[in-house]
Amino acid sequence: MITKEMPVEKQTKERRTETIMQAGTPERQNEIVITELVKKFGDISAVDGLNLEIRRGEMFGFLGPNGAGKTTTISMLSGLLALTSGSAQIGGFDISTESHKVKELIGVCPQEVAVYKFLTGMENIILFGKLHGMEKQQLKERAQALVSQADFSDAAKRRSKGYSGGMMRQLNLMIALISDPEILFLDEPTVGMDARARRKTWEYIGSLKDQGKTVILTTHYIEEAQALSDRVGIIDYGELVDLGTPQELMVKHDAEDLERVFLKITGRRITEGL
Ligand SMILES: Nc1ncnc2c1ncn2[C@@H]1O[C@H](COP(=O)(O)OP(=O)(O)OP(=O)(O)O)[C@@H](O)[C@H]1O
Ligand SMILES: [Mg+2]
């Protein structure tokens, strides 16, 4: 039963449960269902008929070389880019017609850092929390917990204008996490971080799974993706070229790691040119 007095977050959860129960089909248990998704930029098919289902609570590695269509897919799923054709549901909501509902469920750490440089780190986090309609006290507590977990408490007091590239990425990730979303899109979350910050961030991303989050992760750090992902989707020229657990893919292609899996499928390296 949904009433107007209920917090938006609760309404969303109830609506989703109802939707799933009404649908009653196992497919609707999938958190993300992508069907024949296409994005064209002029003559370029950045995403070319993508079909993919991602399960609730899954850590999903979305791997592919530069220009494969990963960011374009994430941008469409998170409502930042219109679809050319096809469809997708997130948590049972259609991304084209129910994007406001989808936005309540997701957190996005975009590949291009999106922060207000004239604000401090903390002010940025608080601002994005407010945009999610978070209650003041809860927002403050969560923001403080996030910055202290990331050893970012001192940096958070400074204007982000003076941040290094790696610090910007750390802030970008905290902004994605502030509303404690059920579903996270992390697009190259650790690029530019030093080894220590990267290790801590990978550990943290691993812990999101224990919290029951669904995480869609793109990265060129193939080893980390291999270690963390329940399943991996390999994308090339906007198409899914293979899908499975890292172990399944390595066995299937008789390869020692995912980099070699990609090499065997396409004759190229995922990280070529980096
Ligand atoms: N706004 C745009 N206008 C024109 N072409 C675009 C635009 N955005 C992406 N593309 C093109 O779409 C293709 C897919 O790009 P996308 O950014 O999705 O790749 P990616 O897999 O995220 O790559 P990377 O690993 O480098 O981040 C590329 O050929 C890119 O040049
Ligand atoms: Mg990208």
- For residues 25-30, average pLDDT: 55
Domain membership of residue 274 (yes or no) is no
Domain membership of residue 1 (yes or no) is no
- For residues 178-204, average pLDDT: 92
Distance (Å, rounded) from C-alpha 190 to C-alpha 186?
9
Distance (Å, rounded) from C-alpha 118 to C-alpha 135?
24
pLDDT at 19: 44
For the chain, how many structural domains are there in total?
Answer: 1
Q: What is the DSSP string of the chain?
A: ---TTS-HHHHHHHHHHHHHHHH--GGGGEEEEEEEEEEEETTEEEEEEEEEEEETT-EEEEE--TTSSHHHHHHHHTTSS--SEEEEEETTEETTT-HHHHHHHEEEE-SS----TTSBHHHHHHHHHHHTT--HHHHHHHHHHHHHHTT-TTGGGSBGGG--HHHHHHHHHHHHHTT--SEEEEESTTTT--HHHHHHHHHHHHHHHHTT-EEEEE-S-HHHHHHH-SEEEEEETTEEEEEE-HHHHHHHTT-SSHHHHHHHHHSS-TTTT-
Domain membership of residue 273 (yes or no) is no
Distance 45 CA to ligand 1 centre (A): 10
Does the pLDDT value for residue 2 go beyond 50? Answer: no
Distance (Å, rounded) from C-alpha 206 to C-alpha 201?
9
| pLDDT (tens digit per residue) in 233-260 | 999 999 999 999 999 999 999 999 999 9
Domain membership of residue 80 (yes or no) is yes
- CA-nearest residue for atom 5, ligand 1, is 41
> For residues 198 and 190, is the Cβ–Cβ distance under 8 A?
yes
- Nearest listed ligand to the Cα of residue 66: 1
pLDDT at 273: 46
Domain membership of residue 116 (yes or no) is yes
Q: What pTM does this model have?
A: 0.87
Does the pLDDT value for residue 26 go beyond 50? Answer: no
Distance 215 CA to ligand 1 centre (A): 21
Q: Tell me which residue has tokens 């401090």.
A: 120
Mutate which of 39, 41, 81 for ligand 1 pocket (most atoms within 8 A of beta carbon) = 41
The CATH number of the domain holding residue 155 is 3.40.50.300
Domain membership of residue 25 (yes or no) is yes
pLDDT at 268: 81
Q: Tell me which residue has tokens 């020229």.
A: 237
Q: Is 44 in the pocket of ligand 1 (CB under 6 A)?
A: yes
Distance 59 CA to ligand 1 centre (A): 23
Q: Is 39 in the pocket of ligand 1 (CB under 6 A)?
A: no
- For residues 49-69, average pLDDT: 95
Residue 200: phi and psi, rounded to 5, are -60, -40
Distance (Å, rounded) from C-alpha 255 to C-alpha 264?
8
Domain membership of residue 95 (yes or no) is yes
Does the pLDDT value for residue 120 go beyond 60? Answer: yes
Does the pLDDT value for residue 20 go beyond 90? Answer: no
Taking alpha carbons only, the member of 220, 251, 221, 216 closest to residue 232 is 216
Distance (Å, rounded) from C-alpha 54 to C-alpha 154?
37
State the distance between the two ends of the chain, measured CA to CA, in whole angstroms: 52
Distance 220 CA to ligand 2 centre (A): 10
| pLDDT (tens digit per residue) in 3-19 | 444 444 444 444 444 44
Distance 154 CA to ligand 2 centre (A): 30
Q: Is 77 in the pocket of ligand 1 (CB under 6 A)?
A: no
pLDDT at 266: 85
Domain of 222, in residue numbers: 8-266
Domain membership of residue 271 (yes or no) is no
Ligand 1 atom at minimum distance from 188 CA: 27
Taking alpha carbons only, the member of 131, 148, 133, 160 closest to residue 204 is 148
